[in-house]
Structure 1
Amino acid sequence: MDVVTSDSQGNGDSGPSDTVKIPERPLKRDQLRLEDVERRKEAKESLSVTEERSEFFSSTFKSERLAIERLLSACSEDDCAFATQTLEEVTLKTQQLQKFLNDSMTFLTQYELRQAQASLQKLQTSLAEKREVVLPKKKFAFRSRNTGASNPKVTAVVANSPASATSVDSGGVKLLGTSHLDQCGFSHISSQTLIKSAEEIQKQDVLLTHLTNCKVRLFGAPSTLHVKHVRDCEILCGPVSSSIFVDHCTNCVLVFPCQQLRTHNTTDTEVYLHVTSRAIIEDCQRVRFAPFSWSYPGLDSDFLVSGLDQNRNNWTQVDDFNRLATSTPSPNWTVIPEPDRRNDWDV
């Protein structure tokens, strides 16, 4: 028999009484069975939680999407001020909806994810089309400007390939360019001053790539701005209606307003920023921030075209994706002290 019980009527000198010894094999079998039951219970609870979270996401996403669509429908070119305010609100809500989707990806099915992404893309397209219709277009006119003897001449390159450019002297500023550009922006240029007018970049996607020791001035309101592989450059841009993407930027000064800023692989760079949502940095070191301080004729009009709110600037709200702990400040970015900030940006 496998169970041994001591004799309760014994003379008491053979060990403790009423002791039961349970064999090891049945005990392990019972433990495995209990663990299996617990795993099944946890799996069921996890499935229930996932289904609840998926249902919550679907209802919330749909509700927010419909609210954004109603705002877009209410926009009219008859009331420019109201349209500008509404489009800024739509831009912010769309960005928040994108973040909500990003935060929910871990439990969404591939079908749900594709459907949500398609809906977001449709909203963004509708927003761009509505902005193009209801907001007034900036009227552009060439203005001559006399330059005194104290101002040096500036070489302004307005083409991607300076080797194929022709020169025209204009008010002390040498313009190198062609009338038809393959790409809106500049690439593979060193030690030049690069200028684009509002008419060239208005509502365009602008790309600046592989620039070294250049001064860049972008007047107007582009749709997006991409800055990649630049070194020792000073880049100033008018209001960007959506996002600015910065990647592999070293020892530069960047000055621009935008709806959102995403910065990657950037070091020793100063950013004079106006941002209506938040700035994001990742894999960056020694990045310093200050409020946007550039001004030029037509800036207010460009803000109007972009749909950005001039009165809302979240330049100190920087999210460092390499610094998840919020209890201590990120070591990767700081604020430029007021005495050290620049305000004079003349070429």
Structure 2
Amino acid sequence: MDETAEANQESGAAKLQERLQKRHQARIEDAERRKEAKESQSVAEEKGEYFSSTFSRERASIEELLSGCSGADRAAVTQKLEEATAKTVQLQKFLNDSMLFLTQYELRQAQAALQKLQTSLTETREEALPKKKFAFRARTKATDKASAPDLPAPDAGPPSEPGSTLVDGASEQCGFTNRTDERLTKTAEEIQKRDVLLTHLTNCQVRLLGSPSTLHLKHIDGCEILCGPVSSSVFVDHCRNSTLAFPCQQLRTHNTSDTRVYLHVTSRAIIEDCRGVSFAPFSWSYPTLEEDFAVSGLDRERNNWREVDDFNWLAAGTPSPNWTVIPEADRKTSWDS
């Protein structure tokens, strides 16, 4: 009995010691987890602070360049706009690279600020470097004298190259405007790295080959618009009953209804004041698509086509009723017609 009791006592002491060691080890592991969580939070906060300060500094630099265009001569304005454009593209890339550690609020604030910058850039360019319309006319002294009192307005008649203008030999924004029931095409040579504007189009089929810098769609009705990789942003405003397809860094869509978007986007799509907008992955293809992706600098492997932020829908955890995903069976796969 004594030996058995002693053995039981030793066994109990060993088990107690084992439990104490396990408890001690659990405390150590818990302390390590807490330490790692605290360090991780600290790193995230540091990254957030770095992003905020860097973004604000670069944003202020761009705004200063744009404000400096007022009253400057054409050469200075052109230089400032080129620098502002390059800085805006870099700021967009910086935002895309920082998305993983930003909160949704921080991301939305930065995207809204960036869109405001891009809008200011476009408006400053249009104001400081107004487009000059031109036409070639065969003139004689007789026709000059006869027609002098009734010269046609600059917009009269179709331009020699619709949607494109030249200002002092430099290329400006290109695109199409005020067209109905037409098939419209721009080649890579025409749009490469330029701002493209499509406005007031009705029942048109548009093909934009190449890689634009930005794409602006305004007052589009019943159109099919397909575009190659856009190196920065696409802005859609007042579009209805249309089908759109493009890759881009950022998409901002306003006042749009009953429109299908086949999208490749490396950040997140944003909609505001929209209804009946549906999304599917970008599926249009043409012979030089891969080359244009390389020109655009977009990440071919990153596509957040179904990550859509609706600025009019703030109910967390409940899907927005203003947009949907196009079912696979209903997605368009042939774009030749």
Q: TM-score, normalised by structure 2?
A: 0.56
Distance verdict in 2 for CA 1:287–1:190, change over 3 Å: same
Q: 2:185 aligns with which of 182, 186, 195?
A: 195
Distance verdict in 2 for CA 1:235–1:95, change over 3 Å: farther
Q: Which residue of 1 aligns with 2:275?
A: 285
Q: For 1:217, give the aligned amino acid.
A: R
Q: Does 2:65 match 1:61?
A: no
C-alpha contact 2:165 2:173 (8 A) present in aligned 1: no
Distance verdict in 2 for CA 1:298–1:60, change over 3 Å: closer
Instruction: Give the structure with the larger helix fraction.
Output: 2
C-alpha contact 1:190 1:214 (8 A) present in aligned 2: yes
CA RMSD in angstroms, aligned pairs only: 3.7
Q: Which residue of 2 aligns with 1:258?
A: 248
Q: Does 2:295 match 1:301?
A: no
Q: Does 2:266 match 1:276?
A: yes
State how many pairs are aligned.
216
Q: Which residue of 1 aligns with 2:124?
A: none
**In structure 1, distance between residues paired with 2:163 and 2:245:** 26
**In structure 1, distance between residues paired with 2:47 and 2:164:** 53
Q: Which residue of 2 aligns with 1:234?
A: 224
**In structure 2, distance between residues paired with 1:344 and 1:100:** 39
C-alpha contact 1:279 1:319 (8 A) present in aligned 2: yes
CA distances 1:9-29 after superposition (whole Å, capped 9, x unpaired): xxxxxxxxxxxxxxxxxxxxx
The runs of at least 4 aligned residues of structure 1 exceeding 3 Å deviation read 55-66, 86-91, 93-97, 99-104, 176-183
Distance verdict in 2 for CA 1:101–1:91, change over 3 Å: closer
Q: 1:93 aligns with which of 94, 97, 118?
A: 97
Q: Does 2:257 match 1:267?
A: yes
Aligned-pair CA distance for 1:343 = 1.2
- Corresponding residue SS for 2:278: strand
C-alpha contact 1:88 1:309 (8 A) present in aligned 2: no
Distance verdict in 2 for CA 1:218–1:326, change over 3 Å: same
CA distances 1:243-275 after superposition (whole Å, capped 9, x unpaired): 100000010000000001000000000000000
Gaps in structure 2 of 5+ consecutive residues: 1-45, 58-89, 122-154, 167-171
- Corresponding residue SS for 2:316: coil
Aligned-pair CA distance for 1:308 = 0.4
Q: Does 2:213 match 1:219?
A: no
C-alpha contact 1:87 1:307 (8 A) present in aligned 2: no
CA distances 1:52-100 after superposition (whole Å, capped 9, x unpaired): xxx998655346789xxxxxxxxxxxxxxxxxxx999646237899x84
Aligned-pair CA distance for 1:330 = 0.6
**In structure 1, distance between residues paired with 2:275 and 2:179:** 25
CA distances 1:204-251 after superposition (whole Å, capped 9, x unpaired): 111000000000000000010000001000000000011100000010
Q: TM-score, normalised by structure 1?
A: 0.54
C-alpha contact 2:204 2:222 (8 A) present in aligned 1: yes
Distance verdict in 2 for CA 1:330–1:307, change over 3 Å: same
In the TM superposition, what are the counterparts of 1:169-188 in structure 2 within 5 Å? Answer: 183-188=173-178
C-alpha contact 1:235 1:253 (8 A) present in aligned 2: yes
**In structure 2, distance between residues paired with 1:177 and 1:103:** 37
CA distances 1:183-220 after superposition (whole Å, capped 9, x unpaired): 40111111101100001111111100000000000000
Q: Which residue of 1 aligns with 2:328?
A: 338
C-alpha contact 2:237 2:254 (8 A) present in aligned 1: yes
Q: Which residue of 1 aligns with 2:234?
A: 244
Aligned-pair CA distance for 1:327 = 1.6
In the TM superposition, what are the counterparts of 1:62-141 in structure 2 within 5 Å? Answer: 62=53, 90=94, 92-93=96-97, 100=106, 103=109
Q: Which residue of 2 aligns with 1:8?
A: none
**In structure 2, distance between residues paired with 1:301 and 1:91:** 24
Q: For 2:306, give the aligned amino acid.
A: T
C-alpha contact 2:188 2:208 (8 A) present in aligned 1: yes
**In structure 2, distance between residues paired with 1:332 and 1:318:** 10
CA radius of gyration, larger in: 1
**In structure 2, distance between residues paired with 1:267 and 1:101:** 25
Gaps in structure 1 of 5+ consecutive residues: 1-54, 67-85, 105-115, 125-160, 167-175
Q: For 2:195, give the aligned amino acid.
A: D
- Corresponding residue SS for 1:241: coil
Distance verdict in 2 for CA 1:225–1:60, change over 3 Å: closer
C-alpha contact 1:162 1:177 (8 A) present in aligned 2: no
Q: For 1:332, give the aligned amino acid.
A: N
**In structure 1, distance between residues paired with 2:220 and 2:261:** 14
